[in-house]
Structure 1
Amino acid sequence: MPDLIRRLALWLRLLLAPGTGKRRRTRYRPRPTAVPLARTAPAPEPPPAGLPRHRSPYGLATPLDGTASRLIRPYLLAHERHLAHERETALQKRRRLALVLAADFGIDLDRHLIGAPVGAAA
């Protein structure tokens, strides 16, 4: 029975209550306005004096000079920087090893690398 009462109340509410406004007719409807036609077309503005006119490179009589501009690929520059950093790191590690060997064990790598005589005793 409660279902029947709920249905009846919903039906009466839909019948007597105002609508939601989705399909409500509005009093004001914008009318399309006619655009007046221009009698004379305005003259095009000349390009600014400082800029040259655009020309296609395909229409030139002389070929383009490829050496005039240097093309640089950023990933190659990054790779070169990375290699230079690795070389510097390896050199620093060798210097550090030579310092540790000389300080801890008394081994001097510089004389060996320079080419000092083997028989020379310190």
Structure 2
Amino acid sequence: MTVGIIHAFLRWVLDVFKPGTGKRRADAYPIPSVSERTPEAPRSTALRLPAHRSPYGLHSVLDGEATATVRPYLIAWERERAVHERALQQRRRTALVLAADFGVDLDRHVIGAEGVPA
């Protein structure tokens, strides 16, 4: 007897908290009958979509010169860096020539070494 009461109580709790069936919404929007619907166009005059074609299956060769594969700001940064590297290399060459030929040392990384005789 207690098992029947427990089952009845559980059934009642599940009925209260289970999701709706949607029966009330079905009556709110009546479906038009077949005679009220517009007639369909014949199959021969219906517009068809073109067949799907993957861009990877194209047999034409892509022109690499026509597409931009690198961002323009990256190209500008590389040019600026190349100019800076050339100027730095020129300074190094000048310092090397002055040190080798004339004994002039342009390296001033040791603080206070200017006044020390060699």
| TM-score, L = length of structure 1 | 0.38
TM-score w.r.t. the length of structure 2 is 0.40
